[in-house]
Homo-oligomer: A and B are copies of this chain.
Amino acid sequence: MIMNYAIGIDLGGSSIKAVTATPAGEALSRHNIEFDPDKNMEWAEKIRALVQQLQQERGGPAGSIGVSAPGLAAADGRSIACMPERLQGLEGLDWTKFLGAPKMVPVLNDAHAALLGEAWVGAARGFENVIMLTLGTGVGGAAMVDGRLLRGHIGRAGHLGHASLDPDGPPDCAGTPGSLEVAIGNCTIQDRSGGRFHTTPHLIAAHLKGDAEASAIWLKSVKALAAAICSFINILDPEAVIVGGGIARAGAALFGPLQRFLERMEWRPGGHRARILPAQLGELAGAFGAAHNSLLCK
């Protein structure tokens, strides 16, 4: 008799992350497969093949399968309803049909999935009200309210990277002027540094060496992040704020000044303060979240 297990698939821009896990959250296997985004729906075929392969390896069908992908998930959770420009074919694809699964394959927005993953087996475990920020090329976000994922009216809730910090600033990809994503996302590192830095790790390395220009740029970005986190605390009142993504790997170079700025900015009624915690699952958070979501799906 085979063990019951779930498969979680997280579709990214040029790679697929996957996990198999027990209902208790123990990871049985982890996978990272690249694909060519210019080849028509290569990602879809690779996911179908991967799901078959994983079930063969496990010796029997998965108890449930979940998918995470960029874009807004449909209200019925069967597809991504809105995904402009990239990954042609994803919008409207019914994953239950596509994978020929006996049970519904629920689909999540990727940032939502990452928070669900961290809430299941990572840094967000045990919190009923918690938000997550993923600092990478862009800035992803998600929120959990009273133990439930915050989806909103059309599945757009939790886009914390698209909070404005400067109404006169340049618009980001969603049109939000001077957003948190503009202030700290890798996508603007060249603009923020006048072309000098091409990646945030290079900027932070120069900052740590005492380069005044780098320090000014980096600390301005961290201050913006702190101000945004204050906003999120005042709006959503989470018990904890999980910070992940490539930029969060800077560790103390990020969390040190971030805590410093929060000392001054955070509203702390009755002395209460939100906890700022690094994410724990790295790039597999979305796959774990997709797996957990499939287990929750009746």
Contacts and interface: CB of A to CB of B under 8 A. Distances in A.
Main secondary structure on A side of the interface with B: mixed
Given A212-B261, A222-B212, A264-B213, A237 B270 contact: no
A151 interface: yes
A153 B239 contact: yes
Contacts of A128: 153
A84 B184 CA distance: 35
Interface in A115-167: 128-129, 141, 143, 145-146, 148, 150-160, 162-167
A251 interface: no
Interface stretch (A25-33, A36-44, A169-177, A288-296): A169-177
Contacts of A267: 156, 159, 162, 174-176
A82 interface: yes
A168 interface: yes
Interface of A: 72, 81-82, 84, 128-129, 141, 143, 145-146, 148, 150-160, 162-168, 170-171, 174-179, 183, 191, 194, 196, 211-213, 215-216, 219-220, 222-224, 226-228, 230-239, 256-257, 260-261, 263-267, 269-270, 272, 274
